[in-house]
Amino acid sequence: MERQTRQEYIHDLEVVQELVATMGDKALTNVEQSMKALLEDDAVLAKKVMKADDAIDDMIIDVEDKCILLIAKQQPIAHDLRVIATGFKISTDIERIGDHAFDIAKTAASVKEPLNPDCKRWIEELGNCAASMVRRAVKAYRDRSVQEADEVRKMDKQMDDVFEHTFYALSDFVTKEGARQKGATQLLFIARFLERIGDHAVNIAEWVIYLETAERIHQKKNRLI
């Protein structure tokens, strides 16, 4: 028990975890920046976010390659295997979060007229909620904190409530204002992207719980919209 062996292998596992966490940081930044671009009508920032998604796409390949190599060469088991398995799964969720941030930025870049202040307020609240979930999910992963992961899972209910409220409010607005508010229609899509970002954050939280406890938890969604 005294002497720790397989130092290089342990280091490689740590590299995978750090890479995934860094991916998470980048995806979070892209979510925040895409929302900023949307709310502040900043097309330059929006394009910057779209470009920044390339880095996340490159990183997932790197994570996958490292994980495959570790399986082939080191035959990981127990917690080590869970590091690899969750490396695959969490990086996939993060990559999707990045894709949604890209979609939001793309929409932000294409919105021509100023957004209605009410719509802006609703979507901002949803955006804050999604970003907060991603931030806490990445923190849970980095800190290996089951408690933090549990908190993210609990936030999902709040996210769903905000999404539902936002979605119906935007739908009503679009129905009343019609073609005069093209931007509001696009906000409906963005609301959906943000809700999906929240779902991916919950997935990450569930994988963190699996990583640390080997217990499989999966929250079933009861989708209304």
Q: Which stretches of the chain bind another protein, using CB under 8 A?
A: 1-6, 9-10, 75-81, 214
* Residue nearer to another protein on the CB measure, 10 or 69: 10
- The residue among 8 and 117 lying less far from another protein, judged by its C-beta, is 8
In angstroms, what is the minimal distance from the CB of 93 to another protein?
22
For residues 6-38, b (16+ Cβ closer than 10 Å) or e, as one string? eeeeeebbeebbebbbbbbebbbbbbbbbbbbb
CA 51 to chain centre: 17
Which residue lies nearer to another protein by CB, 43 or 71? 71
Nearer to another protein, 9 or 106 (CB): 9
Specify the residue for token string 């217990």: 215
Looking at the Cβ atoms of 75 and 175, the one nearer to another protein is 75
Find the Cα–Cα–Cα–Cα dihedral 7, 9, 12, 14, rounded to 10°: -60
Task: Give Cα 31 to chain centroid, integer Å.
Answer: 8
Minimal distance, residue 76 CB to another protein, in Å: 7
CB 218, min distance to another protein, A: 17
Q: With beta carbons less than 8 A apart as the criterion, state whether 70 and 84 touch.
A: yes
Rounded least distance, CB 215 to another protein, Å: 9
Choose among 88, 218, 211: nearest CA to 142. 211
CA distance 47 to 210: 36
Smallest gap, in angstroms, from Cβ of residue 9 to another protein?
7
How far is the C-alpha of 206 from the C-alpha of 13, rounded, in Å?
A: 20
Nearer to another protein, 76 or 198 (CB): 76
Min dist CB 217 to another protein, Å, is 14
